[in-house]
Amino acid sequence: MVDASYVEAVPMDPSEIYAKTELGLRELKERTLNLPLTLRSLLILIDGNCTVAQVLAKARAIKLDERALTALERGGLIAKRFSAPSVSTSPDLPRAAPQRSQDEVERYLQAQQMMSDAINAHLGFRGYGLMMRLQKTANVRDLHDLLPDLGKALAKRLGIEPATPVVTSIERLLAGP
């Protein structure tokens, strides 16, 4: 069971962005870990868009601090969105992933937004599966791997001519400078 009361507070960068892991998403659906209500509420607050500072500002209303975030991270329920976890859950796991450049992060965010907008504007509810896959992407390579499926869905829905400029613009962005 994940418990914040016994976790040593590890300083977190207030500008870091955390997102739920597969285990975190599963816990919200199935409640297998029996998280305390406050930790579950904190897990719900973590959306992959808000910074640590923004999440902690909201978490203070339910009397939680960095120890709770550290507990969720150590429990494998959340992870940094653009880099390796700051707290190792096991000594045999690697401590750091390759750092991404600011340009790569910006391209990722912009391409992810363009893909999301295309799904919403052109596919609507038919694009639900693609949207779920898009939310699981972690880097530019993942987006690049998803792009052919998005292109097929857009071509099927709109036709090849209207879909081509949308896919091409995303492809150019993913290719980088």
- pLDDT of 25-37, one tens digit each? 999 899 999 999 9
Name residue 51's beta-bridge partners: 17
pLDDT of residue 122: 93
Extract the tokens encoding 52. Answer: 């640590």
Extract the tokens encoding 105. Answer: 């992060």
Mean pLDDT to the nearest integer, 46-50: 86
Query: Residues 46, 70: contact at Cβ < 8 Å?
Result: no
Query: Residues 8, 66: contact at Cβ < 8 Å?
Result: no
pLDDT of residue 87: 45
Task: Decide: helix, strand or coil at residue 8.
Answer: coil
Mean pLDDT to the nearest integer, 76-99: 58
pLDDT at 89 over 60: no
Output the average pLDDT for the chain. 83
Residue type, 136: K
pLDDT band at residue 91 using 50, 70 and 90 as cut-offs: very low
The CA radius of gyration of the chain, in Å to the nearest whole number, is 18
> Which residue has better confidence, 44 or 102?
44
pLDDT band at residue 117 using 50, 70 and 90 as cut-offs: very high
pLDDT at 169 over 90: yes
pLDDT band at residue 9 using 50, 70 and 90 as cut-offs: low
pLDDT band at residue 72 using 50, 70 and 90 as cut-offs: very high
Torsion of CA 52, 58, 64, 68, to 10 degrees: -30
Task: Decide: helix, strand or coil at residue 65.
Answer: coil
DSSP 113-135: HHHHHHIIIIIGGGGHHHHHHHH
Going from N- to C-terminal start, the domains of the chain cover 4-80, 102-175
Mean pLDDT to the nearest integer, 88-110: 66
Mean pLDDT to the nearest integer, 83-106: 57
* pTM recorded for the entire structure: 0.46
